[in-house]
């Protein structure tokens, strides 16, 4: 059964790890300039666009339930990386004045080998996760060291495809071969903001919560929280480093037919952002 629990944990990573790459607001305008100092400045009438490339190295703690049987999960990033075959993540943002739009997409592919009831088994997991939403400036205080707070509202879409094959001792004709796909769409609401310590250095934070059991009670609740320090090397380039934690509590069925996850992911996050 070990391979099933491993796949379930990896599936949970697929459902969550790329969903909110790096959401903190790291506007690259110089805080001393009018665009940061006043919401009525002419510079804020122009659209700004950003592209971010996030890299996250999480570990996983919690439990997974497969067919009514619960198993504790404790997977560090080194173990997770052994199953990772491919990954891609990208986030984009557009803003004008107090209003903004954002979106991100992530793809990951995992594979695992092991045994099920003494037979050799192999499995694979592919997934696509995407977020899209809008943001609105709630608070902007100060001119020399501004504090910025935004509210966010959007939707999170995830798609997973899992394949598993069980072979006999000689590894020829499969004893079992099957696949399963799943897609969910959930609302997400959150806050994000920045506190500038200097004209180029700021602390960023972001948090959101979603699910609420809307998608057939399969995604009951998921949340994310991020904290990072950002340095604006230029108006067009910023680099952030921090920590991200994310939790998911999802299940369906009951008794011997119950399947679900209750996991927390946490690890170091690095993000590079280009603004134009």
User: Tens of pLDDT along 24-69?
Assistant: 444 434 333 333 333 333 355 789 999 998 888 878 788 777 667 7
User: Tens of pLDDT along 111-139?
Assistant: 777 665 666 767 777 767 788 999 999 99
DSSP code at position 29: S
Task: Over range 84-108, report the average pLDDT.
Answer: 88
Q: Do 253 and 259 touch, CB atoms closer than 8 A?
A: yes
Residue 245 has pLDDT above 90, yes or no: no
Per-chain mean pLDDT for the chain: 75
Q: Which residues pair with 201 in a beta bridge?
A: 231
Using CA atoms of 32, 34, 38, 44 in order, give the dihedral in degrees to the nearest 10: -130
Split into its structural domains, the chain has a count of 1
**pTM reported for the whole predicted model:** 0.75
Task: Over range 77-105, report the average pLDDT.
Answer: 86
Q: Which residues pair with 185 in a beta bridge?
A: 157
List the CATH number of the domain containing 158: 2.40.128.100
Domain that holds residue 52: 2-275
Identify the residue with better confidence: 164 or 228: 228
Residue 235 has pLDDT above 50, yes or no: yes
**Distances in whole angstroms, Cα of residue 223 to Cα of each of 22, 129, 203, 228:** 14, 15, 20, 17
Q: Do 251 and 260 touch, CB atoms closer than 8 A?
A: yes
């Amino acid at each position: 059964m070990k391979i099933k629990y491993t796949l379930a944990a990896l599936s949970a990573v697929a459902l969550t790890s790329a969903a909110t790459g790096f959401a903190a607001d790291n506007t690259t305008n110089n805080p001393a300039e009018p665009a940061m100092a006043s919401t009525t400045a002419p510079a804020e009438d122009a659209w700004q666009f950003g592209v971010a490339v996030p890299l996250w190295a999480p570990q996983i703690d919690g439990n997974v339930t497969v067919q009514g049987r619960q198993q504790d999960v404790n997977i560090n990033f080194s173990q997770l990386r052994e199953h990772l075959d491919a990954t891609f993540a990208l986030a984009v943002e557009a803003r004008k004045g107090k209003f903004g739009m954002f979106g991100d997409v992530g793809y990951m592919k995992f594979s695992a080998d092991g045994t099920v009831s003494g037979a050799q088994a192999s499995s694979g997991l592919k997934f696509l996760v995407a977020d899209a939403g809008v943001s609105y400036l709630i608070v902007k205080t100060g001119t020399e060291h501004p504090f910025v707070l935004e509210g966010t509202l959007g939707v999170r879409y995830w798609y997973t495809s899992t394949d598993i094959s069980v072979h006999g001792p000689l590894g020829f004709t499969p004893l079992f071969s099957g696949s399963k796909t799943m897609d969910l769409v959930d609302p997400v609401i959150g806050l994000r903001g920045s506190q500038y310590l200097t004209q180029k250095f700021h602390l960023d934070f972001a948090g959101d919560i979603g699910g609420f059991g809307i998608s057939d009670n399969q995604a009951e609740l998921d949340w994310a929280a991020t904290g990072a320090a950002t340095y604006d090397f230029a108006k067009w380039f910023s680099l952030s480093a921090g920590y991200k934690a994310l939790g998911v509590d999802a299940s369906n069925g009951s008794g011997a037919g119950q399947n679900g996850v209750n996991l927390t992911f946490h690890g170091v996050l690095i993000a590079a952002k280009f603004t134009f």
